[in-house]
Amino acid sequence: MKILVINCGSSSLKYQLIDFNTKTALAKGICERIGQEMGDIKHTPGDGEKVVKEVAMKDHEVAMQMVIEALTDKEYGVIKSLDEIDAVGHRVVHGGEKFANSTIISDEVIAAIEECNELAPLHNPANLIGIRACQKLMGGVPMVGVFDTAFHQTMPPKAYLYGIPTEYYDKYGIRKYGFHGTSHDYVSKRTAEYLGLPLENSKIIVCHLGNGASISAVLNGKSIDTSMGFTPLSGLVMGTRSGDIDPSIIEFIAKKENKSLDEVMNLLNKESGVWGMSKVSSDFRDINDAMDEGNEQAQIAFDVFVYRVVKYIGGYVAAMNGVDAIAFTAGVGENDWRVREDVCSYLGYLGITFEKEKNMVKGKETILSTPDSKVKVCIIPTNEELAIARETVALIKK
Ligand code: ADP
> Domain ranges in the chain?
2-147, 199-384
- Cβ < 6 A, ligand 1 pocket: 210-212, 239, 283-285, 330-332, 335-336, 362
**What kind of fold does domain 199-384 have according to CATH?**
Nucleotidyltransferase; domain 5 (3.30.420)
Distance from the CA of 251 to the center of ligand 1, in angstroms? 32
199-384 shares the fold of 2-147: yes
**Rg, Å, the chain Cα set:** 21
Sheet with 222-226, strands from edge to edge, namely 222-226, 213-219, 203-209, 325-329, 376-379, 366-367
Distance from the CA of 78 to the center of ligand 1, in angstroms? 28
Report the nearest-CA residue for atom 12 of ligand 1.
Answer: 331
Instruction: Output the pLDDT for position 139.
Output: 83
Distance from the CA of 41 to the center of ligand 1, in angstroms? 22
Q: List the catalytic residues.
A: 148
Instruction: Output the pLDDT for position 10.
Output: 82
For the chain, the straight-line distance linking the first and the last C-alpha, in angstroms and rounded, comes to 15
Distance from the CA of 378 to the center of ligand 1, in angstroms? 18
Instruction: Output the pLDDT for position 312.
Output: 98
Torsion angles phi and psi, residue 35, rounded to 5: 95, -10
CA distances to 89, 189, 391 from 396, in Å? 10, 21, 9
Instruction: Output the pLDDT for position 140.
Output: 87
- Please say whether the beta carbons of 215 and 208 come within 8 A: yes
Report the nearest-CA residue for atom 21 of ligand 1.
Answer: 335
Distance from the CA of 332 to the center of ligand 1, in angstroms? 5
Report the nearest-CA residue for atom 14 of ligand 1.
Answer: 283
Closest CA to 388 of 111, 57, 8: 8
Instruction: Output the pLDDT for position 365.
Output: 98
| Nearest atom in ligand 1 to 284's CA | 16
| Nearest atom in ligand 1 to 288's CA | 25
Residue of 184, 241, 306, 336 best suited for mutating to test ligand 1, as the one with most atoms within 8 Å of CB: 336
Residue 28 bridge partners (DSSP): 16, 44
Residue of 283, 287, 364 best suited for mutating to test ligand 1, as the one with most atoms within 8 Å of CB: 283
Closest CA to 388 of 124, 137, 101, 111: 101
| Nearest atom in ligand 1 to 330's CA | 6
- Please say whether the beta carbons of 29 and 78 come within 8 A: no
Residue of 241, 285, 388 best suited for mutating to test ligand 1, as the one with most atoms within 8 Å of CB: 285
Report the nearest-CA residue for atom 19 of ligand 1.
Answer: 331
Letter string b/e over residues 80-96, b meaning 16 or more CB atoms within 10 A of that residue's CB: eeeeebebbbbbbbbbb
> CA–CA separation, 156 vs 177, rounded Å?
11
- Please say whether the beta carbons of 142 and 87 come within 8 A: yes
Residues 6+ apart with CB under 8 A from 305: 236, 237, 274, 339
Closest CA to 223 of 188, 247, 267, 194: 188
CA distances to 19, 49, 261 from 68, in Å? 16, 18, 41
Report the nearest-CA residue for atom 22 of ligand 1.
Answer: 335
Q: CATH number of the domain at 2-147, please?
A: 3.30.420.40
- Please say whether the beta carbons of 203 and 324 come within 8 A: yes
> CA–CA separation, 93 vs 9, rounded Å?
10
> CA–CA separation, 309 vs 339, rounded Å?
10
Distance from the CA of 331 to the center of ligand 1, in angstroms? 3
Alpha helices in the chain (DSSP H): 60-72, 107-115, 124-138, 157-160, 167-172, 181-195, 248-257, 261-270, 273-278, 284-292, 296-320, 330-335, 337-345, 384-397
Rounded to whole angstroms, the maximal C-alpha distance in the chain is 61
The pairing of beta strand 213-219 with beta strand 13-19 = unpaired
Q: pLDDT by residue for the chain (398 residues), tens digit each?
A: 999 999 998 889 999 999 999 999 999 999 999 999 999 999 999 989 999 999 999 999 999 999 999 999 999 999 999 999 999 999 999 999 999 999 999 999 999 999 999 888 888 999 999 999 999 999 889 999 999 999 999 999 999 999 999 999 999 999 999 999 999 999 999 999 999 999 999 999 999 999 999 999 999 999 999 999 999 999 999 999 999 999 999 999 999 999 999 999 999 999 999 999 999 999 999 999 999 999 999 999 999 999 999 999 999 999 999 999 999 999 999 999 999 999 999 999 999 999 999 999 999 999 999 999 999 999 999 999 999 999 999 999 98
- Its pTM stands at 0.94
| Nearest atom in ligand 1 to 213's CA | 3
| Nearest atom in ligand 1 to 382's CA | 6
Residue 18 bridge partners (DSSP): 3, 25
Report the nearest-CA residue for atom 15 of ligand 1.
Answer: 283
Tell me, rounded to whole angstroms, the distance of Cα 319 from its chain centroid. 23
Distance from the CA of 333 to the center of ligand 1, in angstroms? 8
Distance from the CA of 5 to the center of ligand 1, in angstroms? 21
What are the respective helix, strand and coil percentages of the chain, to the nearest 5?
Answer: 40, 20, 35
Residue of 14, 148, 180, 335 best suited for mutating to test ligand 1, as the one with most atoms within 8 Å of CB: 335
> CA–CA separation, 32 vs 39, rounded Å?
6
Rounded (5°) CA angle 178-201-339: 50
Instruction: Output the pLDDT for position 313.
Output: 98
> CA–CA separation, 251 vs 210, rounded Å?
29
